[in-house]
Homo-oligomer: A and B are copies of this chain.
């Protein structure tokens, strides 16, 4: 009766004890630095990616004098969108984008989605007015394809997901009806679990799974006498032969993948451009860092500028956001343990492929609006655009590979071979794929081969996370490291933003203490 009159406080306390009332996670706010607290303090920031620009933005607000050195001729780093005329330059190749000039025709070679709870980066989107829209991860109209099951044919997502639910429910109902779980459940709970399971799987009245409208129709319900004819359920034994259930079916429930997922309208680099509007005046582009030195006054950064001349930048502090693989190649004065820790981090050499299609065949022929199809072939995924619906043309992501064994082999091919493989494999999901993609617009990116990246994102082994990672969280003298690699959100822009916040706070605290 805690809910009765006068019981509101009691209810509240009970709920707190149950962990239900935990206040909704507060947005991840940047540190609030006292105005002018950074006046007279210089900071050299290496890299104009999201970590570097976040740090510059926050420090600059408090009066710090920041300079950002950026190796490339644009800001954003991996927060990057390719459109007509843009180049992808790997170590040994250069591709120029030949998509039509249209705001919906773009390719995000790097990050392409933002979970709703990544409030660090979402706060900046809000503050800077970056329009967002929903990006679909889970689309029941997309496909799974696996060479080892269903004869290698693509199978509709909604059939796989809902027939699986049906079979799981049927098996559990059988066990319950056979009293196999009577030790586990009270009689009342058992009855409720059985009811739950029936609805979970949409079981027939005899507790078997004989198909469900959830899995779709061969003839959909329509007008007049068309009441619809449901798909026959997929065979459980075929489902078990597939790899769909190992993780692909559950992917959309992941903490960082579950709805609502968001994307900037018109490409991920809208975020980079928004930051650039704030701190672009602090960025020196085409500035390739060569050395990072400690000096009696702080740091000296030696770099080559756009003309190829060597330059030096002195500052009280440095924030180095370069990927660790790049940092490992610089001349530095890091302590040996620090240097070893930098070398201990692995990187994911992700690969993506994209094609412009002159017809949105996935919408017209397959009723696919956004989302992802999965395959056990090298390309792993096809991504359909979640914006520009019903436009004539669209850009399809024809591969997204993050298993280094697969992506390294894929990226080792010529550009032409990559596209050829992507098309051959895409054909296994959509038989008309090869005829539909505009091959001359095909582009690929192997993140391990981008000279200023040398990888897509950091991957810490459990051991390195224990031993090496903590060393890099502390500054080596006046030099602080920041970036997604210094977070538990590696591979996510949020990791970069939150890491930058921490370094900003650490420098501010140090300044305040002196």
Contacts and interface: CB of A to CB of B under 8 A. Distances in A.
B162 A171 contact: no
Contacts of A389: 131-133, 262
Contact of A214 (B216, B220, B254): B254
B151 A223 contact: no
14 contacts: A18-B235, A20-B153, A21-B153, A116-B368, A133-B387, A133-B389, A158-B253, A172-B172, A195-B246, A214-B254, A221-B487, A223-B501, A259-B371, A260-B369
Given A20-B155, A171-B184, A223-B499, 17 more contacts: A3-B152, A15-B153, A18-B151, A117-B220, A131-B389, A134-B369, A158-B253, A168-B169, A168-B200, A174-B181, A199-B246, A214-B258, A217-B255, A221-B489, A223-B488, A223-B489, A260-B368
Interface in A365-390: 365-371, 386-387, 389-390
Contacts of A153: 11, 15, 18, 20-21
Contact of A151 (B11, B154, B213, B369): B11
A514 interface: no
Interface stretch (A36-44, A138-146, A303-311): A138-146
Interface residues of A, number: 118
A403 to B, nearest CB: 18
A62 interface: no
- This chain: how many copies in the complex? 2
A141 B117 contact: yes
Interface stretch (A22-30, A324-332, A418-426, A451-459): A22-30
Interface in A273-320: none
Contacts of A365: 24
A125 B391 CA distance: 11
A473 interface: yes
A14 B238 CA distance: 13
A512 interface: no
A231 interface: yes
A164 B176 CA distance: 16
B247 A199 contact: yes
A119 interface: yes
Given A153-B15, A197-B168, A222 B498 contact: yes
B15 A193 contact: no
Contact of A199 (B22, B28, B245, B489): B245
A389 B171 CA distance: 43
Contacts of A28: 222
Interface string A204-224: 000000000110111011111
A195 B195 CA distance: 24
A509 to B, nearest CB: 13
A147 to B, nearest CB: 8
A255 B488 contact: no
B214 A253 contact: yes
B473 A224 contact: yes
Nearest to A192: B240
Nearest to A469: B225
A152 B228 CA distance: 39
In the A-B complex, the 5 residue pairs with the closest CB atoms: A180-B180, A175-B175, A221-B488, A223-B498, A134-B134
